[in-house]
Amino acid sequence: MANKEEFRILSTTAILGYGFPAASFEAGMARKPHLIAVDAGSTDPGPYYLGAGISFTDPGAVKRDLEIMLKAGISNKIPVVIGTAGGSGAEPHLAWCKDIIQEIARENNLHFKMSVIHAELDKNFIKDAFHQGKITPLEPAPPLTESEIDASTHIVAQMGLEPFIAALDEGVDVILAGRTYDPVCFAALPIKQGYDRALSLHLGKILECASICAAPGSGSDCMFGYIGEDYFRVEPLNPIRKCTTLSVAAHTLYEKTNPYILPGPGGSLDLHNCRFEQESENTVKVYGTKFVTGNVNTVKLEGAKPIGFRTVSIAGCRDPIMISKIDSITSGVEERVADNFKGKLENYRLRFNIYGRDGVMANLEPNPSTAGVHELGIVIEAIAPTQKQADTICAFARSTMLHYGYEGRRSTAGNLAFPYSPSDFHAGEVYVFSVYHLLATENPAALFPREMITI
């Protein structure tokens, strides 16, 4: 191992479809990478995209990124690896991204072998695992129920290294995978070739967001990684960016609750002895990451279910008296709506999101004060079993709040300013995460069937 050259990885963008400068990609190719990889998805945009089977990225933007990556990878015999296809990695997302790849191949006369790795699980299989006690909640999710399994439109498992290494063993040129543990699409090939598992996964954790680990950070720019015998290095490919020990260490903690233990499929990264060294003005070298194998092999399950339809109305308020009484006013409107539709329409949710005070953090806001605030943005949200019912609740709440009387009120013309006409918008079907649990399994690779395609 000591005589091996560094393994080189080109990470193109934080999420497939977010784009990257052509000059950055060319700089990466000039460094002769052994792997071109990209993470294509996330749960960050919420449950709608998984539940509805729709990508949160634009097909034209995804095609642009993939066309550059595939042409460079295939012509230079460099594997191209894509994780969490279509944003959420369920069957419709996988098929959507596969169609884009096939379109690119037809238009550019590309010939290659591709492994498509599936991540959506059959509900009967999940029910059997549930009844066998193999499924446990990930905090703060509640215990799973059979009714939640039935209600979910798509349930995916987050695959680890095993399916990728099996696909690479088959000599494929391209891997298109469903829901994936983000670092794996970067880490699988170096691990297969004998490079350290902990360093490969830690580097993958950083590369999955591309240049977000640089200063200034960007999710729409390339990043380059090198793995050596007992270290890895990260280097931005755009001269306006630098990697610093602070920026790389900070991104190591990205989306983690524990600064020293980073859990994932099969075990955890232990960072107690990790060191970050400024190797050059824009490159950081990292040592000391260890991998601790888990006592039980688990994969994460993610599922989403529909709960109704949403209508929203956006308004603004600048009356200092109303602002000081906003909580009692919204409570009064809620009571008025409930009273008006009692016995007629009761299965709904009504929420007021107040921007300028607690619109971002909501109930988690540590300082819920309107002191010094001179205007508020108000989003009225109604969710009901049908779109028409959501329209009814939202419209009544909006008109009630518009003319709501409160102590000290002086104007009678209306309490709210509306930036748009019509004031109410259909936001369509609403989904919530229904499955966010761990599945114990003795054979993780068996959960993720592979499909070999010659293009």
Q: Residue 305: beta bridge partners?
A: 432
Omega prior to 140 cis, within 30 of 0: yes
**Each residue's pLDDT tens digit in the chain (455 positions)?**
445 799 999 999 999 999 999 999 999 999 999 999 999 999 999 999 999 999 999 999 999 999 999 999 999 999 999 999 999 999 999 999 999 999 999 999 999 999 999 999 999 999 999 999 999 999 889 999 999 999 999 999 999 999 999 999 999 999 999 999 999 999 999 999 999 999 999 999 999 999 999 999 999 999 999 999 999 999 999 999 999 999 999 999 888 888 899 999 989 999 999 999 999 999 999 999 999 998 888 999 999 999 999 999 999 999 999 999 999 999 999 999 999 999 999 999 999 999 998 788 888 888 877 777 899 999 999 999 999 999 999 999 999 999 999 999 887 788 999 999 999 999 999 999 999 999 999 899 999 999 999 99
Q: In the structure encoding, which two tokens stand for residue 294, read together?
A: 């888990």
The pLDDT score that the predictor gives to residue 113 is 98
CA torsion sign for 127, 128, 132, 133 is: negative
Instruction: Decide: helix, strand or coil at residue 215.
Output: strand
- DSSP secondary structure, 239-275, as one string: TT-B--HHHHHHHHTTT-S-SSEEEETTEEEE-TT-E
Q: How far apart are CA 134 and CA 439, in angstroms?
A: 6
3-state secondary structure 46-112: CCHHHHHCCCCCCHHHHHHHHHHHHHHHHHCCCCEEEECHHHCCCHHHHHHHHHHHHHHHHHHCCCC
Q: How far apart are CA 29 and CA 379, in angstroms?
A: 47
Show the CA angle centred on residue 262, arms to residues 235 and 3, nearest 5°: 50
Q: Please give the single-letter amino acid code of residue 224.
A: F
The pLDDT score that the predictor gives to residue 207 is 97
Q: Please give the single-letter amino acid code of residue 308.
A: G
Strands 80-83 and 35-39, by their bridges, are parallel
Q: How far apart are CA 223 and CA 18, in angstroms?
A: 14
User: 């991104």: which residue's tokens?
Assistant: 251
The pLDDT score that the predictor gives to residue 200 is 98
The pLDDT score that the predictor gives to residue 412 is 79
Are the beta carbons of 179 and 87 closer than 8 angstroms? no
Q: In the structure encoding, which two tokens stand for residue 102, read together?
A: 């096939």
Q: How far apart are CA 247 and CA 282, in angstroms?
A: 11
Region label for 162, one of left (φ > 0), alpha (ψ between -120 and 50) or beta (otherwise): alpha
Q: How far apart are CA 149 and CA 129, in angstroms?
A: 11
Instruction: Decide: helix, strand or coil at residue 295.
Output: coil
The pLDDT score that the predictor gives to residue 339 is 96
Show the CA angle centred on residue 155, arms to residues 152 and 157, nearest 5°: 160
Strands 80-83 and 174-177, by their bridges, are parallel
Q: In the structure encoding, which two tokens stand for residue 273, read together?
A: 């002895």
In this structure, what DSSP letter does residue 362 have?
G
Spatial CB neighbours of 295, under 8 Å, sequence gap ≥ 6: none
Q: What is the pLDDT of residues 385-408, one digit of tens each?
A: 999 999 999 999 999 999 999 999
Q: Please give the single-letter amino acid code of residue 256.
A: K
Spatial CB neighbours of 342, under 8 Å, sequence gap ≥ 6: none
* CA–CA distances in Å: residue 130 to residues 15, 57, 211, 446: 32, 33, 40, 18
Burial 16-46 (b: 16+ CB within 10 A, else e): bbbbbbeebbebbbeeebbbbbbbbbbbeee
Strands 174-177 and 113-117, by their bridges, are parallel
Are the beta carbons of 302 and 119 closer than 8 angstroms? no
What's the start-to-end Cα distance of the chain, in Å? Answer: 35
Q: Which residue blocks in 285-383 are alpha helix, DSSP H?
A: 320-324, 326-340
**CA 203 to the chain's CA centroid:** 19
